[in-house]
Structure 1
Amino acid sequence: MRLVVGENEKGVILENFLRNKGFSKRLIRIYKWQGEILVNGIKSNVKRILQPGDVIDLILPENDSNIAPEKLDLDICYEDEEILIVNKPANMVVHPTKRYQSGTLANGVAWYFKEKGLKALIRPVNRLDRGTSGLVVFAKRPFMQYYLQIIKPMTKLYFAVVEGKMEGEGRIDLPISRKPQSGIERMVSEEGDRAITNYKVVKSSKRFSLLKVKIETGRTHQIRVHLSHIGHPIVGDTLYGSSDDYIKRQALHAYRLTFVHPLEEKSISVYSPLPQDIQNLLKLF
């Protein structure tokens, strides 16, 4: 990662310069002890006083990823030197698991990085359930993953088609925990972690409702659990009370990601249109 000191940053201490760019003390220590912090090509102390035009390079050694590269057709929606945003199709796993060792989105990204000569670990910033389609962000460097997950998390918006007629908008603030004796299913429980889901009805009929959903937390299965709990499971979500008569996966799509890019110092918003199977479902309204 390369940063350049601006005219209005004359005399700032290197450590403070990095903190102003969003680096935590912990992340600065990681670069200091596990990597290198160079100023104009020379390894420098974090107490160094900077001058306009100074070029700062932050380097961490990259180990080879243990994810096997596989050539897949990736739908790339955005890319720069720090991140890659890919539109994940439904019924694809983001990252390899014991059950899914290959054919995952991460396998495809590993191939893409290899073809570009980029030696970077596979770092998904957000994850989607296997049946959920939409935007997934991969950070090319540790700082961007840390920044987008911890310092200034992204705004995540979803479309969901649920069972039953809903009206207006609402906020679901209910804790979620793992369901006893289940390694997959979650449930609303006072013993769980706080979870907040906001929704707004876009279109509804007696049978279905189309919602725009914004989450403030990122619990496992959060949207699916919350909507099922209030009596409106996502259509196709057989795990949480719906059937797959109309669509063969949960009708949930991550359609927009918005974030402030710390290096380019601008807001970036990426959009993914509704996939065909959800479009077909909307014709049944």
Structure 2
Amino acid sequence: MEEIQKKNKKPSNKYQPKGLTILYEDQDIIVVNKVSGLLTMASAREREKTAYFLLSQYVKKGSQKSKNRIFIVHRLDKDTSGVLVFAKTEKAKFFLQDEWQSFSKTYVAVVEGKMREKEGIITSYLAENSIHRVFSVRNADKGKFAKTGYQVIKESERFSLLRIRLYTGRKNQIRVHFAEHGCPVAGDKVYGEKSVGIKRLALHSAKLTLRHPHTKKEMTFEANTPSYFKQLIK
């Protein structure tokens, strides 16, 4: 990261987008740390309170006539925080998307209960029903292959803190895999328990290693684990 930081110009505070911390920016990509509660892209109900909208305004630097744009490469769920990358050219976008499965993606999560195996890999085929709920199926023809690696970092009576390696990037993959193993992500109102006192979904994109679309050099970006996760696990 030392080499990256030297090349990274500190963005002007005047246009700093709320809810996003810019980790790195150059002419091809912009990498941010997204807060929990902010959409990556627009939904039917919300169009402006999104990372995409805020960064679009940021790259225009207040000029609506500006031709500067950003392009969506991947997304994080609204309630998932952490490293999120956007492209600043279509060429960069296509490169990153084409190479996405080969990049290293590490998450940190607090899950309910204790994992039977303290380290392992979960695989299944994921399908989605008519109300957009994702679930595992046995038939490979009816779902998309999903692979999640994990390691237990710390345990308490109620929770476990996990380091997770995302080998594939299916919708809600981490949340579904751990819920189906009896340890849903803390604060997950869809696949888990509606636990009293949990302030947010305890899932965070902690580290992303990719190849730069122009230089082709490997770059790693990290976002510190939220302090709230450590409070939960005490």
Do they superpose with TM above 0.5?
A: yes
Deviations 1:17-59 (A, max 9, x none): xxxxxxxxxxxxxxxxxxxxxxxxxxxxxxxxxxxxxxxxxxx
Percentage of matched positions with identical amino acids = 38
Q: Which has the higher contact order (CA 8 A, sep 6+)?
A: 2
Matched, 1:106 2:52: yes
Instruction: Provide closer, same or farther for how the CA distance between residues 99 and 220 of structure 1 changes in structure 2, counting only shifts above 3 A.
Output: same
Matched, 1:195 2:146: yes
Match of 2:172 in 1: 221
SS at match of 1:85: strand
Shift in Å, 1:247: 2.0
Shift in Å, 1:280: 2.3
Match of 2:82 in 1: 134
Matched, 1:209 2:160: yes
CA distance in 2, matches of 1:80, 1:112: 13
Match of 1:26 in 2: none
Shift in Å, 1:156: 1.1
Match of 1:160 in 2: 109
Task: Give ranges in structure 2 of 5+ residues lacking alignment.
Answer: 1-14
CA distance in 2, matches of 1:119, 1:149: 22
8 A contact 2:96–2:213 mirrored in 1: no
Matched, 1:258 2:209: yes
Structure 1 segment 47-126 matched on structure 2, within 5 A = 72=18, 74-115=20-61, 119-126=67-74
CA distance in 1, matches of 2:170, 2:226: 24
8 A contact 2:19–2:34 mirrored in 1: no
Deviations 1:62-107 (A, max 9, x none): xxxxxxx995353101111110001110011011111112211111
Instruction: Provide closer, same or farther for how the CA distance between residues 170 and 74 of structure 1 changes in structure 2, counting only shifts above 3 A.
Output: same
CA distance in 2, matches of 1:262, 1:104: 24
Shift in Å, 1:239: 0.6
SS at match of 1:194: strand
Question: Normalising by the residue count of structure 1, what TM-score does the alignment of the two structures yield?
Answer: 0.70
| Matched letter for residue 99 of structure 1 | R
Match of 1:34 in 2: none
| Matched letter for residue 84 of structure 1 | I
Instruction: Provide closer, same or farther for how the CA distance between residues 207 and 73 of structure 1 changes in structure 2, counting only shifts above 3 A.
Output: closer
Instruction: Provide closer, same or farther for how the CA distance between residues 139 and 262 of structure 1 changes in structure 2, counting only shifts above 3 A.
Output: closer
Task: Give ranges in structure 1 of 5+ residues lacking alignment.
Answer: 1-68
2:186 equivalent among 235, 239, 255: 235
1:279 equivalent among 206, 227, 230: 230
Match of 1:150 in 2: 98
CA distance in 2, matches of 1:139, 1:73: 19
Rg larger for:
1
Deviations 1:105-156 (A, max 9, x none): 1111011111087624331212010110011100001121111111354211
